[in-house]
Structure 1
Amino acid sequence: MQQSKYMKWFAVAATVGMLLILLGGALVTKTDSGMGCGRNWPDCNGSLIPKEITKEVFIEFSHRVVTGSVSFLILILSVWSWRKLGHIKEVKLLSFLALFFLVAQALIGAAQVLWGQGDFILALHFGISLISFSSVFLLTLIIFEVDQRFDADKVHMASKLKWHTIGVTLYSYIVVYTGALVRHTNSSLVCPDWPLCNNRAPSIIPSNFYEWVQMGHRIAAAMIFFWILYIAIHAIKHYKDQRVIYWGWIFALIIVSLQVVAGMSVVLSRLNIYLALSHSLFITLLFGLLCYMILLVSRSRID
């Protein structure tokens, strides 16, 4: 049964809203606007509406407004999907995950404002938001009946591809975490060159903690690029007759390639804000796509 156009538009709005939350959070971090509203939450500098607007106040307060507004969208979409599409096995779980992790990321953000958090805890913030985004994204794909359009209910995936899909998706979360740790430890420009930390005086072993964080993320990013390249080549060779797998991994390779280029450009441009946000955007899209491939693994017929 085709879903109501209203439900489809609502799902699109919720997905775009979640994307704005992720990018807004990245913007807060990259512009050091996290304390724009002081040690106040949910109010801003003692007022429900800030009286004095600076750049930091505007960015932080706007992020809070977007998060609060989108939270209502996610709540409505979760309940709506649960009631209308609860017979589809993934819908109830995705609805719960979308809401649960949205609340979790909001509470971590609030805790940071009120009491402060360590860098290793703060680095979890973006990753938790990614899970919520991916859950909403998958719900939207189900609402638009993408599975039926691409015959995803007839997918047959060999064990080799299944394990690679699960492995690279779990590993992508490590890449996300190391990237977030780079930002929260202020390690973004500790290595001025690319691909090595210092191309003029190359050294295999980083000399301090911040170089370890930066180079660790670069190595992790390189590994996921080559892993996805390998999977994409495998899918192109063996899954031409299954469009959703064939094109899914081609798009994954394109996105991870853009991610690598964006990461390089962020360093060489000395943290250009637009390139930095594009870096966050590409990893968000990649993680959402990988989560959809996991959904296909769960639906694949047994060998």
Structure 2
Amino acid sequence: MQQNKYMKWFAVGATIGMLLILLGGALVTKTDSGLGCGRHWPGCNGQLIPTVITKEVVIEFSHRLVTGAVSFFILGLTIWTWRRLGHIREVKFLGFLAMFFLIAQALIGAAQVLWGQGDFILALHFGISLISFAAVLLLTLIVFEVDKKFDADNVRIGTALKWHTIGITIYSYLVVYTGALVRHTDASLVCPDWPFCYNEDPFRLPDNMHEWVQMGHRFAVLLFFVWIAYITWIAVKNYKNQPVIYWGWVIAFILVVLQIIAGLFVVSTRLNLIVSLFHSLFITLLFGLLCYMILLVSRSEYSKRKND
């Protein structure tokens, strides 16, 4: 029991650390600090430890340090859960995903520093980090499930909710990508108004690529909101007797509303840094939650096949 307690604390630490990596990467992007250490990696401006300190150096170098430290944390969590909880069906796969995509995002970041990348490639960076975060989050939830504090093993998910869950999770990745593309193409403030690009002429089509990127993202978010609202309605109506499903989708709806509000304030505050980081935080938590709902779908299907 004591070992389970330590594992829980370690898992929570790894999850928080992975969240810091994601927000740190967002901070690097939003403050244009990606070249704070010049074209040098893993060193900084030709030194192992930088001696000339600027705001950009502090942000970029701190992000690298956090990524390095948390990587060992996640490796430790992966090994620990493999050894102690390897009998649980999802554990080894999630551990592999966490490490693989953590390394992938670090390599993309290094490639950007050393050689530069196109905007459409850079937009993948945040999404790849998201997959690693989701895997670590799911491992942490599995660690907490061992004590049976909540019943997530005996879920029963109908066909309609199953396909909606899979569809919305895949679609959420597209929404994330379009949002990252907005930032990397410098299209964040190309539209001065919200929800339309120009509220006085709401039916005006975008004039250039930047407006298309921005309004494409807003349209993707609108569809995302409507879809999650519909799924939440299904869950509230039909899954009151399964609290994990019921509350999971209620929380998902709350997070997508917060995400939209944050997006509104990103525009109205002209890219306020704190608001922008909350914008990244809400979509990170929402994507992690959607991946957990996918895990529950997988368990439901496995249980059905076993009972047939």
Say which is worse superposed, 141-150 or 160-169, in terms of deviation.
Answer: 141-150
State whether structure 2 residue 32 is matched by structure 1 residue 32: yes
Letter in 2 for 1:148: K
- Computed over aligned residues only, the root mean square deviation of the Cα atoms, in angstroms, reads 1.3
Q: CA deviation at 1:131?
A: 0.3
2:195 corresponds in structure 1 to 195
* Residue pair 2:75, 2:99 contacting (<8 A) in 1 also: yes
Q: Distance in 2 between matches of 1:147 and 1:251?
A: 23
Letter in 2 for 1:248: G
1:62 corresponds in structure 2 to 62
* Residue pair 1:39, 1:45 contacting (<8 A) in 2 also: yes
Q: CA deviation at 1:200?
A: 2.2
1:126-176, CA deviations, whole angstroms, 9 ceiling, x for partnerless residues? 000000000000000001117833221111110000000000000000000
Change beyond 3 A, Cα 1:233–1:147: farther
* Residue pair 1:147, 1:153 contacting (<8 A) in 2 also: no
SS in 1 for 2:89: coil
* Residue pair 1:3, 1:144 contacting (<8 A) in 2 also: no
1:124 corresponds in structure 2 to 124
Letter in 1 for 2:120: F
Q: Distance in 1 between matches of 2:291 and 2:180?
A: 19
Task: Give unpaired runs (5+ residues) of structure 1.
Answer: none
Say which is worse superposed, 7-16 or 194-203, in terms of deviation.
Answer: 194-203
Q: CA deviation at 1:3?
A: 5.3
State whether structure 2 residue 304 is matched by structure 1 residue 302: yes
Q: CA deviation at 1:237?
A: 0.5
Q: CA deviation at 1:289?
A: 0.3
1:52 corresponds in structure 2 to 52
Q: Distance in 2 between matches of 1:142 and 1:202?
A: 47
State whether structure 2 residue 252 is matched by structure 1 residue 252: yes
In the comparison of the two structures, how many residue pairs are matched?
A: 303
State whether structure 2 residue 124 is matched by structure 1 residue 111: no
- Indicate the percent of aligned positions where both proteins have the same amino acid: 73
2:75 corresponds in structure 1 to 75
Structure 2 counterparts to residues 1-303 of structure 1, below 5 A: 4-145=4-145, 148-300=148-300, 301-302=303-304
Q: CA deviation at 1:204?
A: 3.7
Q: Distance in 1 between matches of 2:174 and 2:146?
A: 29
The TM-score with structure 1 as length reference comes to 0.98
Letter in 2 for 1:263: G
The TM-score with structure 2 as length reference comes to 0.96
Task: Give unpaired runs (5+ residues) of structure 2.
Answer: none
1:244-290, CA deviations, whole angstroms, 9 ceiling, x for partnerless residues? 00000000000000000000110011000000000000000000000
Q: Distance in 2 between matches of 1:23 and 1:66?
A: 11
